Amino acid sequence: MNAKEFQDNSISSLLFRAADQWPDNPAITFLDATQSWLETRNRCHAAATLFNRLGVDRGDRVAYLGLNSNVCFESYYSPALIGAIFVPINHRLSIREMEECIEDCTPKVLIVDENFTEQAEQLLKACVSLKATLYTTQSSLTEGSVSYEKVVQEVLSSGEYCDLLPSSGDEVATLFYTGGTTGRAKGVMLTNSNFICNTNCTIPLYRLQHQWAFVIVGPLFHLAAGSRVFSSTALGGHAVILPRFDVASLLDAIQRYGVNSATLVPTMYQMILGHPDFVSFDLTSLKMLASGAAPLSAALLRRILEAFPAAEFFQTYGMTEAAPVLTSLDSKYHVLKGPNSGKLGSVGRPVEHVDLVIADEEDRVVPPNTTGQILAKGPNIMKGYWKLSDATQEALEGGWYHTGDAGYLDEDGFLFLEGRVKDMIVSGGENVYPIEVENVLENHPAVHQCAVIGIPHDTWGEAVHAIVILKDRCEAKEDELILFCKEAIAGYKCPVSVTFRLDPMPLSPINKILKTELRKPFWEGRKNKLV
């Protein structure tokens, strides 16, 4: 089967077209092993055959729990080849949170690497939908489990592939779980059309070129990294995959493989520039750098521009529900002097296929330079939230996606962020929803009331901070409450500090805690926005 037999609005067509046009070109390098585009296509087809033998049908889910790898890259395609849905699980979640995700989307198969065998065994016992666990390495096999690699190699050797009927168009290709404002993670349903739309947009937007080398270092359970799977495939590029972010390993990979493009979060840039061996690496191959997921300070931007003078630099604003890009600030505005420097505090203009407006509380469009909620519409917007019709209807009310973020458009159509309507905290590129942390803290027997806010952090941008009122005649210590949270939720969501408050919480006229007042002492003298 070749690319012509697939519809253009299918992500599978990207894979087969790459294998047809650049069969021998490097597709993926992982742990110093490189596979070509033809090999990658065949491995994906073999994996789809494995899923098919395990009873995975059209619309069924295939989950992945592990660090970045060639198998994770392949899993963006292999379930879709038989019309199934890929579900990357955030490996930073607690086991309870993983169980909630698995129980919500009920996958038949879980692929797991050697780093998470213990969690996989617990999930297999707790989640009745799981019929099989596929281990990516032979060393991590347990009794009754299946070796992903062994079966893939057997299918490749025999040539006994299953028939393919890829998903396409409005069919869901991937479920990404995001933190929930109600304390429950929501599965964002993204379709083939969503991904094709975003890919067709970002390639010219970032001026990406055929057969470039792309480094994938952000976690592939996030779409910020995952979207690079599709663009590198569409360009016949070379994806250099690192298991996790490590500064020395990243710098070495850029130098060794001549990496041309990297998309990182501000925290990564800060750690890279601060590494003692930074200047000893040859990074001149870099032609395009992008930043997203969290605010970028003017001071850090200046350091980036000075360190990478030959690379074009872009900032993007988006979210999983938008697959993921909504706006982009072009490299020509990343200057510290001249007329274009006035747009440096923005996150750019909406991309070509996105309609974006600012609306008041009644969803009425407001004039330029007026702050309101950011609403967006376009073919990149999600199909909805998995099995959450009410939440989907609320998010897509009136045909517009309600981002929950506040901002304004200037007279030239550039978007400036002003805060987050839903009080979401962005710490080191990870989204933390305060209510999720508050729900845990309020279960502590000594806690009467609490509020969780983001406070400034020099490395992570924001840190999670809890403000707590204890019950009468009860005592608790800061480290006790932090440990209590760590036993229930992922570490990055837990408070790094706690303030014990004696006065009542500041309240609005409708008795909602005024987190703006709680933040003021921490943010005074700082701008809580992009620059």
pLDDT average, residue stretch 436-452 = 90
Q: What's the distance, CA 22 to chain centroid?
A: 28
pLDDT level of residue 528 (50, 70, 90 thresholds):
very low
Selection from 136-150, 178-192, 230-244, 268-282 with the highest mean pLDDT:
230-244
H and E: helices and strands count for the chain: 15, 26
Q: Is the pLDDT of residue 2 over 90?
A: no
Question: What percent of the residues of the chain are helix, what percent strand, and what percent coil, each to the nearest 5?
Answer: 35, 25, 40
Q: What is the pLDDT of residue 425?
A: 86
Encode pLDDT of 17-39 as tens digits: 999 999 999 999 999 999 999 99
- Is residue 137 very low, low, confident or very high in pLDDT (cuts 50, 70, 90)? confident
Comma-separated ranges of CATH 3.40.50.12780 domains in the chain = 3-186
- CATH superfamily entry for domain 3-186: ANL, N-terminal domain (3.40.50.12780)
* AA identity, residue 485: C
Tokens of 114: 């050697």
Q: How many C-beta neighbours within 10 Å does residue 76 have?
A: 24
Q: Domain 311-420 - what CATH class?
A: mainly beta
The topology (CATH level 3) of 425-523 is GMP Synthetase; Chain A, domain 3 (3.30.300)
Q: Is the pLDDT of residue 157 over 80?
A: yes
Cα 435 from Cα 447, distance rounded (Å)? 15
Average pLDDT over the chain reads: 91
pLDDT score for 115 = 95
User: How much is the pLDDT for 511?
Assistant: 54
Cβ neighbours for 421, distance < 8 A, ≥ 6 positions apart: 373, 403, 404, 405, 406
What six digits make up the tokens of 518? 């709680």
Please report how the helices 223-234 and 11-21 are oriented relative to each other, as an axis angle in degrees rounded to 10.
Answer: 40
Tokens of 113: 């690497």
Lowest mean pLDDT among 173-187, 322-336, 387-401: 173-187
Q: Which of 40-44, 54-58, 75-79, 416-420 has the lowest mean pLDDT?
A: 416-420
Which of 183-197, 208-222, 481-495, 502-516 has the weakest average pLDDT? 502-516
**Portion of the chain with pLDDT greater than 90, in percent:** 76
Cα–Cα distance for residue pair 408/370, rounded to 1 Å: 5
Work out the angle at residue 270's Cα, subtended by the Cα atoms of residues 269 and 274, and round it to the nearest 5 degrees.
Answer: 115
Tens of pLDDT, residue by residue over 479-504, are 999 999 999 999 999 999 999 999 99
Q: How confident is the model over 375-396, as a mean pLDDT?
A: 97
How does pLDDT run across 46-96, given as a tens digit for each residue?
999 999 999 999 999 999 999 999 999 999 999 999 999 999 999 989 999
In percent, how much of the chain has pLDDT > 70?
93
Indicate where the chain has its CATH 2.30.38.10 domain(s): 311-420
**What is the pLDDT, as a whole number, of residue 335?**
86
118-to-114, 121, 136 alpha-carbon distances in Å: 9, 5, 14
What are the angstrom distances between the C-alpha of 306 and each of 298, 309, 311, 333, 366? 12, 6, 10, 15, 38
Angle formed at CA 297 by CA 293 and CA 302, multiple of 5 degrees: 115
Outline which parts of the chain fall under CATH 3.30.300.30: 425-523
pLDDT at site 33: 97
**Number of Cβ atoms within 10 Å of the Cβ of 115:** 18
How far apart CA 350 and CA 330 sit, in angstroms, is 11
Evaluate if residue 190 carries a pLDDT over 90.
yes
Q: Is the pTM of this model over 0.95?
A: no
pLDDT at 140: 56
Q: How far is CA 404 from CA 180, 191, 197, 324, 375, in A?
A: 12, 22, 23, 15, 8
Average of per-residue pLDDT across 461-472? 94
Bridge partners, residue 261, by sequence: 214, 288
